[in-house]
């Protein structure tokens, strides 16, 4: 009963957050400052995660690049400053099996650990853009601001071959009340290069990094494995499989970390948060300026 009440309260809290984001989006999208332009943009590009499942070999990072796409509205405040509302979808993933140079003991340990995930983030951000300078017809900008995102890490259950959500399983032994939130905050920042094509159209290239306050984009944080026997006693066989998909080479003859109380294998690093990045190419349309009248925001009851 308590678990269901916590779930209802959590859902209500996030519905309130979405409601006020919607109010902000509608209000700001109807604001037109005198003499200043408004823009609508579509973006597509790549997204990359950084965390406990980073490849040991830096050359393998490109294999983890996923698709990113989004839409944004930008209001020019002055010739050098603007505010942007940004909605973006980012597909992140990583796997310990991506490295294959087993002469490196660190890579071999990762291969044996055998963790992997995929995670599709939906991010809403309010970004400030500052124009720095112009060069050869291009303008260069700095951008930063707060963001909120929803995520849901998944991995393949080796028993079924299907992707399953990891957070509800509590793969590090979490109870329902201890589960990490699927809603998190981030701080995007980065740079933009723009080129105007015509009075109404522009092109933009952007690179953004995100600082986050979570270590669970990959569902991996704790240094220690939750004991396999405890998972089984709790009736959580699926959590046991996904928490420790141990994959030792043939003939190694060692117990999995979750079954060996004296294991030296490490699951994660709780001292370092997860990060993610995006690079995108955008096409931007200049919207007609609104003329006169007050902006009326919707009232929600």
CATH code for position 179: 2.40.160.20
Among the ranges given (7-11, 35-39, 55-59, 64-68), the one the predictor scored with the smallest mean pLDDT: 7-11
Confidence label for 103 from pLDDT (cuts 50, 70 and 90): confident
The closest alpha carbon to 74, from 29, 44, 39, belongs to 39
Q: How far apart are CA 107 and CA 247, in angstroms?
A: 13
Nearest CA to 154 among 100, 209, 91? 91
Q: For 164-179, what is each residue's pLDDT tens digit? A: 999 999 999 999 889 9
Assess if residue 263 is contained within a domain: no
- Transcribe 45-70 into DSSP letters: EEEEEESTT--SSGGGGGGG-EEEEE
The Cα–Cα gap between 199 and 183 comes to 39
User: Mean of the pLDDT values across residues 248-275?
Assistant: 85
Q: Is residue 259 part of a domain?
A: no
Least confident residue range of 17-26, 202-211, 284-293: 17-26
- CA proximity to 22, closest of 76, 75, 71, 87: 87
Look up the domain containing 213 and give its range: 40-96+115-217+272-287
pLDDT band at 254; cut points 50, 70, 90: confident
- What does pTM read for this prediction? 0.83
DSSP 8-state class, residue 242 = H
The pLDDT of residue 262: 87
Nearest of 13, 23, 150, 153 to residue 87 by alpha carbon:
150
Task: Establish if 188 belongs to a structural domain.
Answer: yes
* Cβ-Cβ contacts under 8 Å for 31 (sequence gap 6 or more): 75, 295
Question: Residue 238: inside a domain, yes or no?
Answer: no
Contact 131, 114 (CB under 8 A): no
3-state SS assignment for residue 109: helix
In the predicted structure, residue 270 carries a pLDDT above the cut 80: yes
Q: Is residue 145 in a domain? A: yes
Does 288 have pLDDT greater than 70? Answer: yes
CB 231 within 8 A of CB 243: yes
Residue 104: band (very low, low, confident or very high) from pLDDT cuts 50, 70, 90: confident
89 vs 57, residue with greater confidence:
89
* Residue 237 located in a structural domain: no
**pLDDT above 60: residue 197:** yes
Q: How far apart are CA 182 and CA 165, in angstroms?
A: 11
pLDDT digits (tens, 9 = 90+) for 28-51: 555 544 457 899 999 999 999 999
User: Which residues fall within 8 angstroms of residue 211, CB to CB, at 6 or more apart?
Assistant: 186, 187, 189, 273, 275
Q: What's the domain count of the chain?
A: 1
Does 136 map to a domain?
yes
CA angle 182, 185, 189 (to 5 degrees): 135
> Does some domain include residue 243?
no
């Amino acid at each position: 009963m308590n678990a269901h009440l916590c779930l209802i309260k959590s859902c209500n809290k996030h519905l309130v957050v979405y409601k006020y984001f919607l109010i902000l989006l509608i209000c700001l999208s109807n604001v037109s400052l005198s003499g200043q332009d408004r823009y609508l943009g579509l973006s597509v590009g790549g997204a990359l995660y950084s965390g406990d499942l980073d490849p040991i070999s830096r050359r393998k990072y490109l294999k983890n690049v996923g698709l990113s796409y989004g839409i944004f509205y930008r209001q020019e405040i002055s010739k050098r400053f603007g505010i942007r509302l940004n909605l973006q979808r980012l597909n992140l993933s990583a796997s310990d099996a991506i490295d294959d140079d087993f002469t490196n003991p660190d890579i071999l340990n990762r291969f044996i650990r055998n963790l992997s995930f995929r995670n599709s983030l939906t991010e809403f951000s309010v970004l400030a853009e500052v124009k720095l300078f112009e060069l050869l017809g291009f303008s260069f900008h700095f951008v930063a601001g707060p963001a909120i995102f929803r995520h849901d890490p998944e991995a393949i259950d080796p028993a079924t071959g299907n992707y399953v959500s990891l957070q509800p399983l509590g793969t590090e032994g979490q109870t329902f009340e201890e589960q990490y939130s699927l809603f998190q905050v981030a701080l995007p920042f980065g740079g933009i290069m723009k080129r105007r094509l015509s009075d109404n159209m522009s092109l933009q290239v952007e690179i953004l990094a995100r600082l986050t306050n979570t270590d669970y984009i990959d569902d991996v944080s704790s240094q220690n494995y939750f004991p396999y026997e405890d998972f089984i006693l709790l009736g959580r066989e699926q959590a046991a499989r996904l928490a420790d998909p141990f994959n030792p080479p043939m003939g190694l003859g060692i117990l999995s970390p979750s079954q060996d109380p004296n294991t030296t294998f490490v699951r994660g690093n709780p001292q370092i948060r997860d990060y993610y990045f995006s690079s995108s190419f955008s096409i931007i349309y200049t919207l007609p300026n609104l003329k006169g009248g007050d902006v009326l925001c919707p009232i929600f009851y």
